[in-house]
Structure 1
């Protein structure tokens, strides 16, 4: 870091997968990290890994779709770690189904966690970023934003996050705040394992089939996404804003 002040980051959905890898990577970059997830106790392993390496971390339980919980969580982070100036909106859920089978609840749950959650978290954190004259917001989109069978809710939410990101970049840029999105391709996580189960495939076979369609001939790992997020959240990335980076092992078309 080019400053002596330690930046404080919040990573939502930080208990596992991409979120956990991102929290660990940002801590290695010198950030104090609030690991936020629906179940606070689920964050313990990530926090322990960070602190064991000499970093500062805090586990925070929060439903990102609930306004009061978000406000309380951000206030707690500001009090215990410091004002958050880095935000990674990673929290997400799947409720996959074909359109004619999709329930209102399937649609609303995905929209609430992905879109409403990113909105509430960004709104709560931006005041701290404005005061600091520095901010980094990274939203997790997906290659599914381009359309994916059985994911009309997820695809719509992830596409929406791209428009959300570009608008934040325009509104907040004058305060020293950047907003960017990372759109993963096939990444080995519990969520992709759930997708394999939904379509009735063994997860190893599912990964092999995916890798055969990817130019670099392998599937992605959470660390691949954490690397991209680390770039966007860095001190040196202040002239990069409003961008969507597809991290998918090659072109998608």
Structure 2
């Protein structure tokens, strides 16, 4: 119960990695608000956690809107108490070569992945700063190091890494830590939709040769969110099966 008495918001928490993060934080004793663009999805996931004996609630929020991010934090504080932990997990991935990349794809990717992270972090920093305490954990990606067909996604996640480092410096004097997790190949519904041929190529490029789980990311987040991570800020923790070190030819 490392996080007993703490409250947290997890954006994009209705499924996949976000839901695993919310589940882990709630299992550690935190009261968790699952925020998602899909109100129905957030409600369903919060209900599932509640049925298992955990404390979870839901709120609909579009992180690309600064007003929505402010309202999300305000609602959480009004109903759940002071915000201790923010996990910026909401994100999208639109892949394709630069020759086929549209302005809409580029702008949407940066709006959700980078601007969304900024909007939510700014809203959280305002209330955390007043109490001089808080944890912000941003979900980046190993892809920020670069990968074929992921120029928009890699740029957005590279921005998240740089934003994390700068914000960590800025907020350190206020007692707020800011760190990032960079997942690699993780077993999510999106990955499961890939063809066997694509999965074979992805695993061939993985040094460990195995796929990670959403729970792996949840455990990493709980380190940064808890007391053990109190002296760690501005860091990027890779949960990628070694792919950040090198990739085998795929």
Residue of structure 1 in register with 2:28 after alignment: 29
The count of corresponding residues between Structure 1 and Structure 2 is: 245
CA distance in 2, matches of 1:123, 1:206: 38
Conserved? CA contact 2:10–2:32, under 8 Å: yes
Matches within 5 A, 1:65-104: 65-104=64-103
CA distance in 2, matches of 1:118, 1:187: 21
Structure 1's 236 and 164: CA in aligned 2 closer, same or farther, altered over 3 A?
same
Residue of structure 2 in register with 1:109 after alignment: 108
1:220, distance to aligned residue in structure 2 (A):
0.8
CA distance in 2, matches of 1:206, 1:99: 20
Conserved? CA contact 2:2–2:28, under 8 Å: no
CA RMSD after TM alignment: 1.7
Partner of 2:74: helix, strand, or coil? helix
1:16, distance to aligned residue in structure 2 (A):
0.6
Structure 1's 223 and 207: CA in aligned 2 closer, same or farther, altered over 3 A?
farther
Residue of structure 2 in register with 1:239 after alignment: 231
Q: Tell me, yes or no, if structure 1 residue 146 matches structure 2 residue 138.
A: no
Residue of structure 1 in register with 2:157 after alignment: 158
1:215, distance to aligned residue in structure 2 (A):
3.0
Conserved? CA contact 1:139–1:181, under 8 Å: yes
1:176, distance to aligned residue in structure 2 (A):
1.2
Residue of structure 2 in register with 1:228 after alignment: 220
1:68, distance to aligned residue in structure 2 (A):
1.4
CA distance in 2, matches of 1:217, 1:141: 22
1:246, distance to aligned residue in structure 2 (A):
1.0
Q: Tell me, yes or no, if structure 1 residue 180 matches structure 2 residue 183.
A: no
Q: Tell me, yes or no, if structure 1 residue 211 matches structure 2 residue 203.
A: yes
CA distance in 2, matches of 1:38, 1:103: 23
Q: Which segments of 5 or more consecutive residues in structure 2 lack a partner in the other structure?
A: none
Q: Where in structure 1 do 4 or more consecutive aligned residues deviate above 6 Å? A: none
Q: Under a length normalisation based on structure 1, what TM-score does the superposition of the two structures give?
A: 0.91
- 1:2-60 CA deviation, whole Å, 9 max, x = no partner? 78x71110100001110000000000011110100001110123212321232221111
1:226, distance to aligned residue in structure 2 (A):
0.8
Q: Under a length normalisation based on structure 2, what TM-score does the superposition of the two structures give?
A: 0.92
Conserved? CA contact 1:24–1:49, under 8 Å: no
Q: Tell me, yes or no, if structure 1 residue 133 matches structure 2 residue 132.
A: yes
